[in-house]
Amino acid sequence: MNSLENIESILLPGVPDKKPIIIAGPCSAETEEQVLITAKELANIGVKIFRAGIWKPRTRPGTFEGVGSKGLKWLQRVKKETDMYVATEVANSKHVAEAIKYGVDVLWVGARTSANPFAVQEIADSLKGVDIPVFVKNPVNPDIELWIGALERLYNAGIRKLGAIHRGFSSSDNNIYRNAPMWHIAIELRRRYPYLPIFCDPSHMGGSRELIAPISQQAMDIGFYGLMIESHYNPDKAWSDAKQQIKPEVLDYIKDMLVIRDNYQSTENLNQLRKQIDNTDDELVELITKRMRISKEIGTYKKTHDMQVLQTSRYSDILNRRITQAEKFGISEVCMKKILEAIHEESVRLQIEIINK
Ligand code: PEP
Ligand code: MN
């Protein structure tokens, strides 16, 4: 199935098609003054799309949950007093109706909401007949099908100006990031839907000011289309996500430092290198096949000698030996471990098949 096939550009009139497209603004609209001061500073550095959360999905109750509908009037002032479009997060049909009524130009579905098909369907239903750009953040859990499902629900409701925002995933084993990037998920989304614009949200991914620049650069190197960055005129005093918000002047600096590489430059050299990669992959597949064949023979041996399939000490030996070897060649432990685990899992599967024949 080739869903999402007639995606239209998310670029509204007056937004130049120049990478990266930047959506910036505070995590939350707090006061009329805070919104207007921040918006004007962002407009001055050339930002064209202003973000501000009006309704905030907070992990714990009792924290600031957004100013609610009254903030929509502040966004109207932003539109009138700067040349920016305005964007906000919607999580239910009431939010959609209010945002549309007050002329919000761009909507996004937050990470907690895109993990919930009922909520996404409700939003999609209330957007029928509305023609504005809608972005879908990745769900909090690393499930690409759930992310695509949310995009499809909106698409099926007639939304064509669709985009995705990669903001990272909840994970127990990440240390420096607030939400683990797991870039391969966004890369897979790009592979399946090359025409779908993907933005990166380094603010929620990194969770700290220092990580905004390096994550943004990584996103550009992977070929993302744009960035959604939290910016506040006085970040230290922000009512939500204070640690990850940056001043507009810092955003301006980061934006200027980004290196945007040309995706379309295809040189003869590159083609030759790709040929070598293809040949190496051929050899890899042959080697893995050979290894599985041996593994099946071992399976037959284990069957005749009534041995268990899983021999943990042998498996530990293999892991340790190859990880140490790979590290010497500059290949990370995480990568080597994943490869060995996948190979081992397949070996075990084949041997179990043989033993139970
Ligand atoms: C936000 O953009 O302020 C937000 C709540 O983000 P996320 O849905 O990615 O957590
Ligand atoms: Mn936030």
pLDDT tens, 221-278?
Answer: 999 999 999 999 999 999 999 999 999 999 999 999 999 987 666 677 888 889 899 9
**Ligand 1 close to Cβ of residue 167 (< 6 A):** yes
Domain limit, last residue, from 228, 257, 286:
257
Asked if residues 154 and 123 have their Cβ atoms less than 8 Å apart, the reply is yes
Residue 230 CA: distances (Å) to CA of 28, 53, 88, 265, 294: 9, 10, 12, 32, 54
Query: Which of 23, 27, 107 should be mutated for ligand 1, with most atoms under 8 A from CB?
Result: 27
Tens digit of each residue's pLDDT (9 = 90 or more) over 164-207: 999 999 988 767 999 999 999 999 999 999 999 999 999 999 99
Q: What is the CATH number of the domain that holds 132?
A: 3.20.20.70
Q: What is the CATH number of the domain that holds 338?
A: 1.20.59.10
Residue 1 predicted with pLDDT over 60:
no
Asked whether residue 61 falls in the same domain as residue 120, the answer is yes
Token representation of residue 250? 């810092």
Asked whether residue 294 falls in the same domain as residue 237, the answer is no
Residue 116 predicted with pLDDT over 70:
yes
pLDDT of residue 218: 96
Residue 7 predicted with pLDDT over 80:
yes
pLDDT of residue 271: 86
Question: Please, what sign has the CA dihedral across residues 199, 205, 211, 215?
Answer: negative
Mean pLDDT estimate for the chain: 94
Asked if residues 206 and 217 have their Cβ atoms less than 8 Å apart, the reply is no
Atom of ligand 1 nearest to the CA of 53: 3
Domain presence at residue 195: yes
Q: Which residue has the tokens 């002032």?
A: 77
Asked whether residue 246 falls in the same domain as residue 286, the answer is no
| DSSP annotation string for 114-158 | HT-HHHHHHHHHHTTT--S-EEEEPPSSS-HHHHHHHHHHHHHTT
**Ligand 1 close to Cβ of residue 53 (< 6 A):** yes
Asked whether residue 160 falls in the same domain as residue 73, the answer is yes
DSSP state of 231: B
Asked whether residue 232 falls in the same domain as residue 124, the answer is yes
326: CA distance to ligand 2 center in Å? Answer: 39
**Ligand 1 close to Cβ of residue 204 (< 6 A):** yes
Asked if residues 232 and 30 have their Cβ atoms less than 8 Å apart, the reply is no
pLDDT of residue 269: 83
Domain limit, last residue, from 218, 235, 257:
257
Domain containing 245 equals: 21-257
Asked if residues 141 and 112 have their Cβ atoms less than 8 Å apart, the reply is no
Express as a percent the part of the chain with pLDDT over 70: 98
Asked if residues 110 and 57 have their Cβ atoms less than 8 Å apart, the reply is yes
Per-residue pLDDT, averaged over 157-166, amounts to 98
Asked whether residue 52 falls in the same domain as residue 133, the answer is yes
Domain presence at residue 167: yes
pLDDT of residue 87: 98
Tens digit of each residue's pLDDT (9 = 90 or more) over 307-344: 988 888 989 999 999 999 999 999 999 999 999 999 99
**Ligand 1 close to Cβ of residue 111 (< 6 A):** yes
Asked whether residue 107 falls in the same domain as residue 220, the answer is yes
Asked whether residue 95 falls in the same domain as residue 178, the answer is yes
Asked whether residue 132 falls in the same domain as residue 203, the answer is yes
DSSP state of 237: G
Total structural domains in the chain? 2
Residue ID of nearest Cα to ligand 1 atom 6? 110
Residue ID of nearest Cα to ligand 1 atom 9? 111
Asked whether residue 244 falls in the same domain as residue 273, the answer is no
